[in-house]
Amino acid sequence: MSATSPSSSASAPKPKVPLSWILFGNRWMAGSTILLVLLVVAAVVGPFLTGYAPETTSGAQFLPPCRAHWFGTDLHGRDLLTRILCGARLSLLVGLVGAGVSLVIGVAYGAISGYAGGRTDNAMMRIVDIIASLPTLIFIILLIAVLEKPLTQTFSGVWKTEARIVLLFVGIGCFEWLTMARIVRGQVLVLKELSFVQAARTLGQSPFKIVFRHLVPNLLGIVIVYLTLSIPSVILQESFLSFLGLGVQAPAASLGSLMAEGVQVINPLRVSWWLLVFPGSFMAATLMALNFLGDGLRDILDPKSVR
What's the pTM? Answer: 0.79
Lowest-confidence pick of 19-28, 168-177, 229-238, 240-249: 19-28
**Taking 50 as the threshold, does the pLDDT of residue 11 lie above it?**
no
At residue 2, φ and ψ (nearest 5 deg) are -70, -25
The per-residue pLDDT for range 221-254, each reduced to its tens digit, is 888 888 888 888 888 888 888 887 777 777 778 8
Please give the pLDDT value at position 140.
82
The residues spanned by each domain of the chain are 26-52+71-305
Q: Give the model confidence (pLDDT) of 37-96 as tens digits.
A: 999 999 999 889 888 888 888 878 888 899 888 999 988 889 999 999 999 998 898 888
Give Dmax (Cα) for the chain.
Answer: 85
The pLDDT score that the predictor gives to residue 307 is 45
Calpha distance 265→273 (Å, rounded): 10
pLDDT at residue 18 tops 70 = no
What is the SS3 assignment for 135?
Answer: coil
- pLDDT, tens only, 261-271: 888 887 766 77
Q: At the top level of CATH, which class does the domain 26-52+71-305 belong to?
A: mainly alpha
DSSP string, 116-134: H-HHHHHHHHHHHHHHHHS
Q: What per-residue confidence (pLDDT) applies to 244?
A: 79
Catalogue the long-range contacts made by 47-51 (C-beta closer than 8 Å, 24 or more residues apart): 47/82, 47/85, 47/86, 47/89, 50/79, 50/81, 50/82, 50/85
pLDDT bin (cut points 50, 70, 90) of residue 8 is: very low
pLDDT over 70, % of the chain: 86
Query: Half-sphere exposure of residue 193, counting CA atoms within 13 Å on the CB side?
Result: 6
Query: Is there a contact between 167 and 148 (Cβ–Cβ < 8 Å)?
Result: yes
pLDDT of residue 16: 53
Q: Quote the pLDDT of residue 4.
A: 45
C-alpha separations of 114 from 126, 192, 204, 230 in Å: 13, 8, 19, 22
